[in-house]
Amino acid sequence: MPSSADDSTVRKRRSRVRLMAPLIVWFCGSVLLLSWSWFENALERTTLVFWVAVEGGPPAEELSVKLDGKAFQSGGRVGLGSHTLFISGPTVEPCRKKAFVWLGRNDWGRVDLKRIKGILDVQTEPAATELRIAGALFSATKADTAGFSQPVPAGEYQVTAVFLHTRERREAEVLRNETCRSAIAPPFGALDLASDPKGVEYSLRSPATASLSFSGTAPAELTQLPAGAYDLSMQWAGSDKDRQLQIAAGKTNRQDIVFPYGTVRLTTTPPGAAVSSGWSALGNTPRTLLVKPGRYDFHLALDGYRPLDVALSVADKQTVAVVTNLVSLRYVEAMTVARGQFNSANYDAALRRVQAALQVEPQDADALSLKAKIEAAQKAAGARAAEAVRQAQAAKEQAAREAPVKAARRKFNLLVSREKDARLFPTFAWAATNRLADVEAAMRRLFAEKDAPWKLAGEENPDARTVIFRGAGRGLIGSHERRCFVMLARVGPGRTCVFAEFFEYVLPVQLASLIFSASSTSYVPVTATTYKPDEPGAAAAHIKAVAEDFIRRLEAEGAKGGAP
């Protein structure tokens, strides 16, 4: 039988158990309540984020977005579990996406939609100089083409084919998965216009279409003329001839016009003598003139040379040649001086002298060669001087642009060096095209976001050109800690530099220890030596992702810009 001492021990143990029972019940209940509270808070922050692109670009119309059959917007709250996202629109193929939603922020990324398309097939005969396709969702222009055939968004289009002298328009409607064909083949013909002598001036116009009017000198070949009647007028040496033409489609129509004329050839040595007849200047020698049959008096004159008068008669289809020599003393003197000044690098004076020589001998090979050398040397000297000035100015302007940025970076490096662990984390920089006040307002909105990784922990304004922000945040039930140090600096009109350093820390412990014994002394920096050392580059990738998320949020709040 048990002794009275054993009974007393048992009773004492039972008494202790009864005393500890309420404490055990309280402890278990507290754990359950904390777990339920954590679950409800996580469920409150469970959201679905995505963005919609139509063939890689923003949608051009309002789209219907439904989640599980109900209207939904990106960033809205969702319940835990499997969900179906359905997106549709009047010009896009509907898209259905299914996925499981977990606690917290669920980012489904970009949802790509395809437009409803059909094939637009346009053929032109002859090839158009320009083919324009214009629609609400698609436009294209092709040059020197005989057709266009490719898938395009469904809808109505205006097709314009531009030919040499006219343009044709067609309306086309492209339906889903169908081919819309359009043929543009205007009735065109061609005109082969010949004259004797050559160089006769002509004008051609269409009485039915005022815009169809052409002019030039014969011989000429005009193509892609709309078939129909035309009025032709030709003038030469004060004589006119008019014709009415009929341009037939699909063929080349020929027209020959003949005027009676003779030829006069005037040649002087040196060339360049001015040729005149009465009060009319006819150019310089050597000169070939086509004239009507008759008697003519020509006057040949060149500075520094004796003028010459020539009288002659010309019959129909007759050629009369006049050859004479002119002598000058100024040419040799001008060329000698020009060469000496060129060798002395006095290019302006040398050019003036060689031009004086060319006034005497306009086609002289030596004078032209020397002029080309002088102009090339003159151009090279000017280019070297201009390039030196440009490079100096560019360097000065670049230094002026970079000086405020470099000064701001030095200030940031000095300020952030006072932060704990600053040397462990990289510095990120961006340039914004907003004013400092606008970027500062965007920063405040970023810190005020409901799901922002950081909350504003402090700020200061060292001067009118600088604003400093400090942010802090902690992960779910203390799983990690983060800080950020951000400086905004105005570096010019409408230019603001953003410098930032992100301090990320994690707890290398199990979840149970995290709940009951997490303390700030347990955090370790997210660096290559402490953060997933078995995954090379994981720490750098994490910090880069934090920085990219920061600038994305800042740009979403109104900051505009990129790398400085």
Query: To the nearest 5 percent, what fractions of the chain are helix, strand and coil?
Result: 30, 45, 25
How many C-beta atoms surround the C-beta of residue 19 within 10 A?
9
Q: Are strands 228-236 and 239-247 parallel, antiparallel or unpaired?
A: antiparallel
pLDDT in tens, 268-283: 988 999 999 988 899 9
Q: What is the pLDDT of residue 510?
A: 44
329 to 271, 305, 333, 335, 454: CA distances (angstroms): 15, 9, 7, 11, 92
State the Cα–Cα distance between residues 83 and 160, nearest whole angstrom: 48
7 to 4, 14, 19, 370: CA distances (angstroms): 5, 11, 18, 134
State the Cα–Cα distance between residues 410 and 172, nearest whole angstrom: 63
Q: What is the pLDDT of residue 401?
A: 81
Residue bearing tokens 């060339």? 271
Rg over alpha carbons for the chain, rounded to the nearest Å, is 45
Which residue ranges of the chain lie beneath pLDDT 50? Answer: 510-520
Q: What is the pLDDT of residue 2?
A: 56
Using CB atoms within 10 A of its CB, is residue 553 exposed (0-12), middle (13-18) or buried (19+)?
buried
Three-state SS at 211: coil
How many C-beta atoms surround the C-beta of residue 37 within 10 A?
10
Q: What is the pLDDT of residue 509?
A: 53
Greatest CA separation for the chain: 168
Q: What is the pLDDT of residue 327?
A: 58
| Pair of tokens at residue 348 | 């302006």
Give all strands (DSSP E) within 117-178, no chain letters: 117-135, 139-153, 155-162, 167-174
| Pair of tokens at residue 496 | 């603001």
Q: What is the pLDDT of residue 516?
A: 43
Residues 6+ apart with CB under 8 A from 342: 350, 370, 373, 374, 377
Domains of the chain: 53-113 (no CATH), 117-184 (2.60.40.10), 188-258 (2.60.40.10), 262-325 (2.60.40.1120), 417-562 (3.30.530.50)
State the Cα–Cα distance between residues 273 and 301, nearest whole angstrom: 5
pLDDT in tens, 362-388: 888 888 999 899 989 888 888 888 888
Identify whether 536 is preceded by a cis peptide bond (ω within 30 of 0).
no
**What values do phi and psi take at 36, rounded to 5?**
-65, -40
